Amino acid sequence: MSTPTNIIVGLNAQSTLKAGSYGTSEAQATDLGFIKGGITIEHEESSYEVKVDQCLGIIDKITTAESLKIKFSLAEATLANIALAFGYDLNTTSFEFGDKASETYKTLFINVKGPNGKTRKYTFWKCRPSGKTSQSYKRDSETLVEVEFDVLCDTSKELNKRFGKIEDITSA
């Protein structure tokens, strides 16, 4: 049965994208400001096909790898957002980059419009920039900070809960 209230159209004024140090709570995370073009969450699985001599077809598929990637374009080209894109500390007024001494993992929080008037809340526990970022400074054009994050397994979490969680909550 079709339910029109389950149709989700775009971001709304209550949509937020926040990042904090790995393990931080959403209340302690930094709001990254406006985004352009939305947020893309990509999920990919690799599997092994199980075959036996007595059957011509595949009898099972076993997942061998799973990955998540998050992509977005930040419309606010602040130094903190540029630092985030390069994998450095968010709370900065200046930074130097090159030959990074250590990885800094982030926890990402995404809140968007959900079905039936609810808010869809994504929490990704352990993320790092994928190494792909870009910025363009062009005459009479917006400067966007394009960011791509890999979501890594957080082994401090239970099995099957290591990437993060998605929940629909009643909006306040």
CA geometry: angle 152, 24, 71, nearest 5 deg = 45
Q: What is the CATH number of the domain that holds 64?
A: 2.30.110
User: CA-CA distance, 84 to 151, in Å (whole number)?
Assistant: 15
* Listed ranges 6-10, 12-16, 32-36; the one with the highest mean pLDDT: 32-36
Q: Where does the pLDDT of residue 92 fall: very low under 50, low under 70, confident under 90, or very high at 90 and above? A: low
Give me the amino acid identity at 26: E
Cross-strand partners of 50: 60
The average pLDDT across 123-146 equals 85
Higher confidence at residue 101 or residue 49? 49
The average pLDDT across 33-45 equals 88
* Total number of domains in the chain: 1
Domain that includes residue 159, residue range: 4-170
Across the chain, what does the average pLDDT equal?
85
